[in-house]
Each structure stands twice: as C-alpha cells, then as structure tokens.
C-alpha cells in the first residue's frame, strides 16, 4: 500500500486531499499546527483505521520536518511513496506598509517549509528503488501576481522554481516533481473576499465558476499515479481558465 505524506491536511484543500487519497486506497500521514474536527473525524473513522495518521507539526521550525518524518516512518515501518507540500498561509497588504515579520513568516512557512520537508522526505524516498512523487501546491498568483500579495506571490513562485530544479535533480531516480497551481477556490481562504470581489472573479473566469477542492484533488491523484510517470517539472494550473 503506497504511503503519502501531506502537509497542512487538517482543513480546506489539505483536508480534501487527505480524504480523496484515503478513499483511493492510499495510506496517508499528515501534519498541521493543530488538530481540527476533520482530523478527529478521520482518526475515528473505521473505514480508514490505521491508514490515517496525524501529528502536530509547525513547519519552518528547526527540526520540525525531521521529527515528523521520524515519527511517521517508525510508526508505519515503510518508506514514503509521495509527498504533497500543501501547508501554507497568506497575508494581504501593499508591500510598502506590510510588516517585514509577516512577509518573513509567509516565506518561511510556504517556501522554506516545503524545501525542508522535501529534503527530509527525499532522504527516505531515495532509499527506495521504486521511484516516487512530489507534488507542490502552488498558486496562479505565483506566476500572475496580484496587488497586495507580494510576499505570498514570491513564496509560490519560489515553489514553482523548486519544482523545476528538483525535477532535474531526482528524475534519474524515478521521482517526479510537479506543481499544481489552483486559482481562487471555494475554500476558507476565499471566504474573506467581499461578495463583489468573488462575483468579479467568477465573471472573469472562462468556465464561470471557482475551482472546487475536488478539481485539484483529482489532478493530484493523477500525478501520484503510474499513468503520470513521464510528467515532471511542470506547473499545472487549475483555475477555470482565468489565467489564460
């Protein structure tokens, strides 16, 4: 049974990825800053049993990724097949007045956290002779840029750069690395937008709707599959066409 690591799997898109991959038959280990009702529900759901594991972990803290992976591998007694770097935060404000400490926190969690987790998981993954998968959850904002989101945009652009460089590093070992870049989604992160803003986004989107968690989850599941074995180093947008 293939074992997938997902960061930030306690709510929103991360929770949707966890549930989708559990239903697809994967073993899933996830981490987040704190537990949530979703985590409690998954932990007690008899359909998943020991295939679901959660641990508290604050990515970007010194040694956090290593402690998480040591706990997971000790408990599961198997090497990870895939990593989904999903954990992330955002913050909005024009850069001239945006606090440096907030910018640093966004970069540290979104980008440095993904770098450290990838480095840690690869140390286990490279022991396997069966290849593996890394999927970075990026954003169209990383390539398009939006007013008031300079730090967030920089962190996601960095993830796409990580994807391309790492794909070259580990490709000969049968490990693929790709980014999935959602547009605005019907999740908690878009709930702070004013109704007028959401309506404008929907009007500008060729498909006339926001992306759903299931749209992203199905692409991630495909990238983890054997059918995607020749796709690597790519950033694939899931945005209803708004960035075209």
| Average confidence (pLDDT) per 10 residues, the chain, 244 residues | 95 96 96 95 92 90 88 79 95 88 91 95 91 96 87 96 98 97 75 71 89 96 97 96 88
Instruction: Name every residue whose Cβ is closer than 8 Å to that of residue 196 and which is 6 or more positions away in sequence.
Output: none
Answer whether residue 16 is part of any domain: yes
In 86-103, which positions are buried (b, 16+ CB within 10 angstroms) versus exposed (e)? bbbbbeeeeeeebeeeeb
What is the per-residue pLDDT for 7?
Answer: 97
Answer whether residue 244 is part of any domain: no
Residues with catalytic function: 152
Alpha carbons 131 and 174: distance in angstroms, whole number: 4
Answer whether residue 221 is part of any domain: yes
pTM of the model: 0.94
Residue 189's CATH number: 3.40.50.720
The answer to whether the CB of 78 falls within 8 A of the CB of 28 is: no
Alpha carbons 209 and 212: distance in angstroms, whole number: 9
Instruction: Specify the number of domains making up the chain.
Output: 1
Domain holding 166, by residue range, is 3-238
Answer whether residue 198 is part of any domain: yes
Q: How far apart are the first and last CA of the chain?
A: 38
In 210-232, which positions are buried (b, 16+ CB within 10 angstroms) versus exposed (e)? bbbbebbbebbbebbeeebeeeb
Answer whether residue 138 is part of any domain: yes
Instruction: Name every residue whose Cβ is closer than 8 Å to that of residue 223 and which is 6 or more positions away in sequence.
Output: 133, 135, 176, 178, 180, 231
Q: Rounded to the nearest 5°, which phi and psi values hold at 99?
A: -60, 135
Answer whether residue 243 is part of any domain: no
Answer whether residue 31 is part of any domain: yes
The answer to whether the CB of 194 falls within 8 A of the CB of 147 is: no
Answer whether residue 97 is part of any domain: yes
């Amino acid at each position: 049974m293939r074992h997938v690591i997902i960061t930030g799997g306690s709510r929103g898109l991360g929770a949707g990825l966890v549930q989708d991959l559990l239903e697809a038959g994967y073993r899933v280990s996830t981490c987040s800053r704190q537990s949530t009702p979703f985590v409690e529900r998954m932990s007690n759901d008899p359909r998943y049993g020991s295939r679901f594991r959660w641990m508290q972990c604050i990515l970007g803290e010194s040694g956090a990724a290593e402690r998480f992976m040591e706990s997971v591998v000790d408990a599961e007694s198997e090497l990870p097949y895939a990593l989904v770097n999903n954990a992330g935060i955002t913050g909005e404000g024009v850069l001239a007045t945006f606090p440096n400490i907030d910018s640093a926190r966004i970069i540290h969690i979104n980008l440095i956290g993904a770098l450290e987790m990838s480095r840690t998981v690869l140390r286990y993954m490279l022991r396997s002779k069966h290849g593996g998968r890394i999927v970075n959850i990026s954003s169209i904002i990383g390539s398009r840029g939006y007013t008031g989101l300079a730090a967030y945009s920089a962190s996601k652009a960095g993830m796409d750069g990580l994807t391309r460089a790492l794909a070259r590093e580990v490709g000969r070992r049968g490990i693929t690395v790709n980014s999935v870049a959602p547009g605005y989604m019907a999740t908690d992160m878009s709930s702070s937008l004013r109704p007028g803003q959401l309506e404008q986004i929907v009007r500008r989107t060729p498909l006339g709707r926001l992306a759903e968690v299931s749209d992203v989850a199905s692409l991630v599941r495909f990238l983890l599959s054997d059918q995607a074995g020749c796709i690597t180093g790519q950033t694939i947008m899931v945005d209803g066409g708004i960035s075209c």
